[in-house]
A and B are shown apart, each in its own frame.
Chain A
Amino acid sequence: MPQPISELLLQRILAYWAWSGVVIDAATEEKALAITARALHQPEQQRLSFSLQALQEELPGQTPIAAASPPLSRSSMHYGDY
């Protein structure tokens, strides 16, 4: 039996939040259900995009990741005789 669309939407919303560091508790589950319910009222083609947009609105803004390397402190390698 194919997965019902509501289950698919709910699963993706919760997974996205969980992987983004949101704690999944009763309140977030309620929010996820609300987004799912609103998405189901959208045209069939737009349900996934609606829910993705809505779930991202609930996320905190992207935090910049600390630099991978320190400021450069350049100097040269010298190549002598063999």
Chain B
Amino acid sequence: MNNPEPLPADLLTQQRPRWRLAATVRRGLLSLAVLLQTLTATYFILSILPYHGGNLIEVCIAAVFALLFAWISVGFWIGLTGFFLRRIGGDPLSLLRQQDEATLEATPLARTAVVMPIYHEPVGRSLQGLKSVILSLQRSGKLENFDFFILSDSRDPDVWLAEQAAWDQLRNELGMQDRIFYRRRPINLNYKSGNVADFLRRWGGAYEYMVVLDADSLMGGDNLVRMVQLMQRHPQVGILQSSPSLINGRSLFARLQQFSNQLYGPLFTTGLAAIQLGHAAFWGHNAILRIQPFMQHCGLRKLPGWGLFKGPVLSHDFAEAAYMGRAGQEVWLEPELNQSYEESPPTLSDELTRDRRWAKGNLQHIWLMLFSRRLRLAHRMAFMNGIMGYVASPLWFSFLVLTTIEVARLVLWPINYFPEQNQLFPLWPEWHPQRAIWMVSITLTLLFLPKFLAVTDVLLRGRRQQFGGGFKLFFSVFLEIVISALLAPIRMLSHCRYVMEALFNVNLRWAGQNRSGETSWLAAVLNQGIGSLLALAWAGFAWWLDPMFFLWSLPVALPLILAAPIFVLLSKVGWGEALLRNRWLQIPEEAQGSQLVDDLNKPSKLLEVDQHAAFNEAIVHPYTNQLQSQLAHAPRAKRQQSELQLLAQRCLQEGPDALSRAERNLLASDATALRWLHSQVWLAAPESIWGKLLKRRIRIANTPNQTV
């Protein structure tokens, strides 16, 4: 690893500052469009309300409505911008279009580290993904410029021992002993950002760039090469973010997510990139970062506030992009960098588990947005965007509560025609159901028009076959719209809970999260039961108040009442696979194939690594024991050694299950203990615990297609 040579000045693409002016104009136009649309819609809803905003409840309804409408209006205009730009062949100001293809192709590469931080991930899948990336780079002919680091924060010995075994398997398989590295931090400080910072402190000086992958990321070699070349030609760019597409979904839920991501995503990311230009956000993975300025400016201090706003920054990526921007570096989102993938959570339950973390992380950004100094306005807006992603749910919930109060007040309380003293004329409440229907139609247009434009874009580009053909594409879109409408209230209620948890720094867990492949009925009922009862009570109250209001409540109440079956049915892998066989919800990679994705799904010994029995394997298996012993601590001080000897003795006599995770961690980290246990286990009597384990292991090895 040599220190990289800077690119000669004549090879640098001349920075064209006109993007800054264009960014100002585009953001100004977007703000104006959103403002005008929101003001008009708010005026319209005031005309719908019986007293036209004449009391506190109606003022609150209008205020909450305005915020929510502005939020969906931003999405609408971004989608429209994306559609327009895709129709004219892409944004002329994008980073990729600032030089021609041949110039980019001729740009030399610099040393780049591809890092994959992992924490208790499915080991086989993660490393098989990394293998696919490496094979793809090999095919691109530029592998020699890249080194690969697996950065583990795993604490469970069964998991990290499996990681080490799989890492060894991977580098032996590829013959890359000196190019694929593994590092496990002994102390997990500051989550993923701390893990990456630990890597940078140790090896950051040896590389010009760092590509960050998630455990489920997949990036094509040509794409990685192109990203390095872009960074080489644009030294003012600190972070270049690709737009990952979702792939590899098997459950119905994951297939719906990846279909909508692949169909609608390009429109929105093109629009978003066009608005953000050089002030884009970093999404934490599938991106390339310039190491030197990152290390200089992106160390994340702990937040000094209270409650949620005290301690390490949980969602580090937006903050890092903002700090890069503050340091004068550009951050670009480039939607036309293909072959950048990740996977969807397999079930709604898994997605909401992830959202719980993200809600906390994004709400922490309130502090950064308000109190960080010298941040660019665009990055403060990016924080705002992330915050609204979660705060929109309690706003929607408040809107429902306020409208219910409004209806209840009209029905249950006598109408006061003379609310003011000395009023000459009565104040008549007016109700315009037709206008209300209009308002709903306008809102639905804002929500769904970009989706239809995305379909139009696919049709005009002649890509319908990639999505299963015309008829199946339309059916799939219909299915996606119906299910996303069902999911919206469920997500809303869950997000309300997460926002409350985050703001009050408490845990309002109703039931344990389901972590299995499919969601069980019991887990779904326990998880969603309270929400369903709440919705049932609300719908009943609405019916009692006014049957018409009950009908209005149904699009929200019904999905919440049916939440448990929705959870279970969407998690079904069989349903997802049946749709795939019939080319419903099809995505381009399934239609035309992709070597990168195919490599991921090829049978491999990596996928056979068992992370439930890795501790036993480290003791029993001669080669694995040799490997793990060499990676473990050298012999320790005498006092520690005698304590470990006692522990090892207990492990031998009572078996591995008698030890706690911490105790197994201690043994697995010590070379002497591992070697001693290995020699003793092979001498174990056949009727002892280890004798039986050994016999079972030998039997499995002699039986094809069985795992440890």
- By a beta-carbon cutoff of 8 Å, the part of chain A in contact with chain B is 2-3, 8, 11-12, 15-16, 18-21, 48-49, 52, 62, 64-82
Q: Mark B171-214, 1 if CB is under 8 A from A, else 0.
A: 10000011001110000000000000100111111100000000
Q: Decide if A78 touches B373 in the complex (CB within 8 Å).
A: no
Q: Decide if B679 touches A52 in the complex (CB within 8 Å).
A: yes
Q: How far is the CA of A80 from the CA of B367 in the complex (A)?
A: 16
**What is the chain B residue whose CB lies nearest that of A62?**
B626
Q: How far is the CA of A34 from the CA of B295 in the complex (A)?
A: 62
For the complex formed, measure the closest distance between the CB of B508 and the CB atoms of chain A, giving whole angstroms: 29
B670 within 8 A of A: no
Given the interface pairs A21-B623, A76-B295, the reply to whether A69 lies near B300 with Cβ below 8 Å is no
**What is the chain A residue whose CB lies nearest that of B304?**
A82
Q: Decide if A78 touches B683 in the complex (CB within 8 Å).
A: no
Q: How far is the CA of A77 from the CA of B631 in the complex (A)?
A: 27
Q: Enumerate 29 A-B pairs (CB-CB under 8 Å) in ascending A order.
A: A2-B686, A8-B686, A11-B695, A12-B682, A12-B694, A12-B698, A15-B697, A15-B698, A18-B701, A19-B701, A20-B622, A65-B168, A66-B171, A68-B631, A70-B147, A70-B203, A73-B202, A73-B204, A74-B201, A75-B201, A76-B201, A76-B295, A78-B295, A79-B299, A79-B301, A80-B299, A80-B323, A82-B368, A82-B371
For the complex formed, measure the closest distance between the CB of A75 and the CB atoms of chain B, giving whole angstroms: 4
For the complex formed, measure the closest distance between the CB of B579 and the CB atoms of chain A, giving whole angstroms: 43
**What is the chain B residue whose CB lies nearest that of A63?**
B626
Q: Decide if A81 touches B147 in the complex (CB within 8 Å).
A: no
Q: How far is the CA of A12 from the CA of B1 in the complex (A)?
A: 44
Q: How far is the CA of A11 from the CA of B424 in the complex (A)?
A: 104
For the complex formed, measure the closest distance between the CB of B276 and the CB atoms of chain A, giving whole angstroms: 22
Q: Decide if A70 touches B630 in the complex (CB within 8 Å).
A: no
Interface size on B, residues (CB 8 A): 52
Contacts of A76 in B (CB 8 A): 201, 295
Q: Mark B333-367, 1 if CB is under 8 A from A, else 0.
A: 00000000000000000000000000000000001
For the complex formed, measure the closest distance between the CB of B426 and the CB atoms of chain A, giving whole angstroms: 57
Q: Decide if B299 touches A73 in the complex (CB within 8 Å).
A: no
**What is the chain B residue whose CB lies nearest that of A15?**
B698
Contacts of B147 in A (CB 8 A): 70
For the complex formed, measure the closest distance between the CB of B45 and the CB atoms of chain A, giving whole angstroms: 38
B297 within 8 A of A: yes
Q: How far is the CA of A79 from the CA of B372 in the complex (A)?
A: 13
Given the interface pairs A20-B622, A82-B371, the reply to whether A68 lies near B183 with Cβ below 8 Å is yes
Q: Decide if A65 touches B683 in the complex (CB within 8 Å).
A: no
Given the interface pairs A12-B694, A79-B301, the reply to whether A19 lies near B622 with Cβ below 8 Å is yes
B627 within 8 A of A: yes
Q: How far is the CA of A78 from the CA of B304 in the complex (A)?
A: 18
B18 within 8 A of A: no
Q: Decide if B372 touches A81 in the complex (CB within 8 Å).
A: yes
B705 within 8 A of A: no
The 6 closest A-B pairs by CB, nearest first: A79-B299, A66-B177, A73-B206, A73-B205, A75-B205, A77-B299
Q: How far is the CA of A80 from the CA of B371 in the complex (A)?
A: 14
Q: How far is the CA of A54 from the CA of B202 in the complex (A)?
A: 44
**What is the chain B residue whose CB lies nearest that of A59?**
B622
Contacts of B177 in A (CB 8 A): 66
Tell which of A19, A68, A78 has the most Cβ of chain B within 10 Å: A68
Q: How far is the CA of A46 from the CA of B384 in the complex (A)?
A: 72
B376 within 8 A of A: no
Q: Decide if B297 touches A48 in the complex (CB within 8 Å).
A: no
For the complex formed, measure the closest distance between the CB of B374 and the CB atoms of chain A, giving whole angstroms: 7
Contacts of A77 in B (CB 8 A): 197, 200-201, 295, 298-299
Q: How far is the CA of A21 from the CA of B622 in the complex (A)?
A: 9
B296 within 8 A of A: yes
Given the interface pairs A52-B679, A66-B171, A77-B299, the reply to whether A16 lies near B204 with Cβ below 8 Å is no
Cross-interface CB contact of B178 among A66, A72, A82, cutoff 8 Å: A66
B27 within 8 A of A: no
B621 within 8 A of A: yes
Tell which of A2, A18, A64, A81 has the most Cβ of chain B within 10 Å: A81
Given the interface pairs A68-B182, A75-B204, the reply to whether A49 lies near B683 with Cβ below 8 Å is yes
Q: Mark B504-532, 1 if CB is under 8 A from A, else 0.
A: 00000000000000000000000000000
Q: How far is the CA of A16 from the CA of B695 in the complex (A)?
A: 12
**What is the chain A residue whose CB lies nearest that of B182?**
A68
Q: Decide if A73 touches B679 in the complex (CB within 8 Å).
A: no
Q: Decide if A81 touches B296 in the complex (CB within 8 Å).
A: no
Cross-interface CB contact of A70 among B201, B206, B701, cutoff 8 Å: B206
Q: How far is the CA of A72 from the CA of B682 in the complex (A)?
A: 38
Q: Decide if B373 touches A65 in the complex (CB within 8 Å).
A: no
Contacts of B695 in A (CB 8 A): 3, 11
Q: How far is the CA of A43 from the CA of B603 in the complex (A)?
A: 47
Q: Decide if A82 touches B205 in the complex (CB within 8 Å).
A: no
**What is the chain B residue whose CB lies nearest that of A7?**
B686
Q: Decide if B295 touches A80 in the complex (CB within 8 Å).
A: no
Contacts of A71 in B (CB 8 A): 1
Q: Mark B151-166, 1 if CB is under 8 A from A, else 0.
A: 0000000000000100
Contacts of A11 in B (CB 8 A): 695, 698
For the complex formed, measure the closest distance between the CB of B321 and the CB atoms of chain A, giving whole angstroms: 15
Q: How far is the CA of A66 from the CA of B323 in the complex (A)?
A: 38
Q: Decide if B621 touches A19 in the complex (CB within 8 Å).
A: yes
Contacts of B626 in A (CB 8 A): 62, 65
Given the interface pairs A65-B631, A82-B372, the reply to whether A72 lies near B299 with Cβ below 8 Å is no
Contacts of A8 in B (CB 8 A): 686
Cross-interface CB contact of A69 among B182, B197, B295, B630, cutoff 8 Å: B182
